[in-house]
Chains A and B, each alone.
Chain A
Amino acid sequence: MDKRTALNLYTVMRKIRRFEQRSTTLFGENKIWGTIHSYAGEEAIAAGVCEHLRDDDWITSTHRGHGHCIAKRADLGKMFAELLGRESGYCRGRGGSMHIADTSKGNLGANGIVGGGIPIATGAALTAKQLGTDQVAVSFFGDGAANQGTFHESLNIAAIWKLPVVYVCENNQYAESFPAKKAFAIEDIATRAAGYGMPGVRVDGRDVAKVYDAAGEAISRARAGGGPTLLVCESYRHEGHYYGDPRKYQTKEEIEGWKTTFDPLIDARAWIVREKLGTEAELDAIDRGIDDAIEQSVAWAEAGPPASPLTPEEIYASH
């Protein structure tokens, strides 16, 4: 991997982590309404996958969607503004955290329905096929969504039509409070791919280089007309299901153990330095730049106007 790519990956991961940390602070200050779901711990997946995507490629995301959005090159200020319910937010304060979309960058939206984005990405891939373009669609979803009916129906449709779509299952070990080890009778979710007649790949979702390589292969295959792939990234969610989750389904030891042993950011730093793709000083400079950008984005978002009153045109395009 070249230096530029490695540092890009690190930058995206670091941005996501800092965005989540800053959002949590804003939430604690009662500036965010509703609920937020932190992507901390899963950064390597969004970063490694989206590094291969162009602005005209599509993604569908989840309720835990900030990371995908950032990796698909969203504007941090407009993201914070949305969380703060401002007119200057991505959805003009209509959607909030769980519905951020950025169609100009091919982000077809976070989704409050578990598994809701899987058929939508499948349909985006159908568009690419119909129009004869080389665009691809990526659907991010969790282990919970892999047990929804949309997973089954969509993977089958994509396989029989050979659609240019990559299904990225982020196994963060919990479907809300339900542990994956109880929700699946199989150990490797990727083995399900065989049932649809598509390649299934399992990768360590904490290792951004491995995610990058596996995603690159799947996305190239899709772009070249080779059809869909199921890519399962093993991961761990540092925080609870939502901000404030009492996490009664986990032990303290488990949480602390994972947090200290499973941190893709620490791993990424070590890997970059070890492979001489960057120095500690360079990485520190990236960190400082991100911290500044985050603070500027929050300030911009907080200065934004409140959400404007509702109008009929935003519900119906033609009315």
Chain B
Amino acid sequence: MPATRDASAQTAPGPSAGAGESREMFYAEALNDALRVEMQRDERVIVLGEDIAEHGGAFQVTANLLAEFGPTRILQTPISEIGLVGTAVGAALTGMRPVAELMYIDFSGLAIDQIVNQAAQNRFMFGGQARVPLVVRTQGGSGRGNAAQHSKSLEAWFAHVAGLKVVMPSTPADAKGLLESAIRDDDPVMFIEHKLLYRTKGEVPTGEYLVPLGRADIKREGTDVTIVTWSREVLFSLEAAATLADEGISAEVLDLRSLVPLDKDALLSSVRRTRRCLVVHEAIKRGGYGGEIAALVAEEAFDDLDAPPRRLAGLETPIPYAQPLELGVVPQAADIVRAARELVRG
């Protein structure tokens, strides 16, 4: 077994960029690179999931890993969501560092007992006797005509459970750095990708690269309003911020990256600076994680605000199929521009 580092992502010194080299990668490729780097580094890292072997995964995140690591580490499973996640939980409890792939977050309902009642709670229930270093990789989101059972944004379900961490990267570099950190983390992590980010491109450090869990990232600096967001809505928010700049509104885009643990300091310090907070997410507004952010900002930074915190989020509907309908139910860049303008201009 190769040497492994015990230090968790949290205690590791900030983002490290291997030898300082980088290259342009697709988001899916960056995730693939993270898996490869971590599997080379630590034999305890194994991957379990459906269609992950020869097929390379429904979104090609595990492409070519079978050839490099073989069928004992790239463990293709039958279509058995609770079986594969539960097997990964048992492996994690006994010393492996499994990465379980749930093809769509919509399928997590089939596996949820093992995630929520087992993985998330074992450490606590056993009085600290256990660690569950498990990553459940999955993807959600709409915009690809996959309709109601393959398009949901369910991060709030998991963020509600004590014992789970929830990570949602928006860029290829974050995807790689956060996945490597999640694999090295000693707690169960729901690692939620977005199906329409897989083919986005960006510069990604080569070699080992760690982005700590629980640290937000200012993707664009601004002074008039903080747009707090994550996953694909970061891209829409950046597009909106560029449009807003033309109108003389300076929007800061704060990408939370991790919902749990939450970078409260970054959130509050940004909001206190800009004095306005707009939370944007694709998930349905009712019961969404944006409510948590808005409430936190109101509770802790009320006196520093010039306006009440505001939420812009998905409509209360299953995701419809027809393209014009589908585009209409989750916030687009133009919606963010409108909401930010209203918040700033009143």
Q: Are A319 and B261 in contact (CB under 8 A)?
A: yes
Q: Are B113 and A116 in contact (CB under 8 A)?
A: yes
Quick one: given A103-B130, A123-B92, A319-B261, are A157 and B77 in contact (CB under 8 Å)? yes
From A29-37, A179-187, A263-271, A310-318, the one touching the partner chain is: A310-318
Q: Are B163 and A315 in contact (CB under 8 A)?
A: yes
Determine if B96 is an interface residue (Cβ-Cβ < 8 Å).
Answer: yes
Can you sample 11 A-B contacts with CB below 8 Å?
A: A101-B122, A102-B129, A108-B90, A113-B113, A120-B89, A120-B93, A126-B75, A130-B72, A150-B86, A156-B80, A316-B163
Bound together, the chains give a CA A60 to CA B86 distance in angstroms of 12
Bound together, the chains give a CA A103 to CA B132 distance in angstroms of 13
Q: Are B90 and A126 in contact (CB under 8 A)?
A: yes
Q: Are B10 and A157 in contact (CB under 8 A)?
A: no
Most buried by B among A123, A130, A313, A319: A123
Q: Are A119 and B86 in contact (CB under 8 A)?
A: yes
Nearest chain A residue, comparing its CB with the CB of B213: A318
Determine if B243 is an interface residue (Cβ-Cβ < 8 Å).
Answer: no
Bound together, the chains give a CA A315 to CA B165 distance in angstroms of 11
Closest CB in chain A relative to B208 CB, distance in Å: 18
Bound together, the chains give a CA A91 to CA B261 distance in angstroms of 25
Quick one: CB contact mask for A87-127 with B, threshold 8 Å, 1 for yes? 00111111100010111100011011100101111111111
Determine if A285 is an interface residue (Cβ-Cβ < 8 Å).
Answer: no
- Report chain B residues within 8 Å CB of A116: 86, 113-114, 117-118
Having A95-B125, A109-B125, A154-B86, one finds 11 other A-B pairs with CB under 8 Å, namely A91-B127, A119-B87, A122-B90, A123-B90, A127-B94, A130-B96, A150-B86, A150-B113, A153-B86, A317-B131, A317-B187
Determine if B9 is an interface residue (Cβ-Cβ < 8 Å).
Answer: yes
Out of B84, B123, B129, name the residue touching A157 (CB < 8 Å): B84
Determine if B128 is an interface residue (Cβ-Cβ < 8 Å).
Answer: yes
Chain A: interface secondary structure? Answer: helix
- Top 7 nearest A-B pairs (CB, nearest first) are A123-B90, A119-B86, A153-B83, A318-B8, A91-B127, A92-B127, A317-B186
Q: Are A318 and B87 in contact (CB under 8 A)?
A: no
| A residues lining the B interface (CB < 8 Å) | 58, 60, 89-95, 99, 101-104, 108-109, 111-113, 116, 118-128, 130-131, 137, 149-150, 152-154, 156-157, 160-161, 313-319
Chain B contacts with A in 65-104, Cβ cutoff 8 A = 72-73, 75, 77-78, 80-96, 98
Closest CB in chain A relative to B91 CB, distance in Å: 4
Quick one: given A150-B83, A315-B124, are A120 and B90 in contact (CB under 8 Å)? yes
Q: Are B186 and A108 in contact (CB under 8 A)?
A: no
Q: Are B90 and A119 in contact (CB under 8 A)?
A: yes
Determine if B317 is an interface residue (Cβ-Cβ < 8 Å).
Answer: no
- Report chain B residues within 8 Å CB of A150: 82-83, 86, 113
Q: Are A126 and B129 in contact (CB under 8 A)?
A: no
Out of B77, B80, B124, name the residue touching A314 (CB < 8 Å): B124
- Report chain A residues within 8 Å CB of B187: 316-319
Q: Are B80 and A153 in contact (CB under 8 A)?
A: yes
Bound together, the chains give a CA A116 to CA B90 distance in angstroms of 11
Bound together, the chains give a CA A125 to CA B96 distance in angstroms of 11
Q: Are A127 and B122 in contact (CB under 8 A)?
A: no
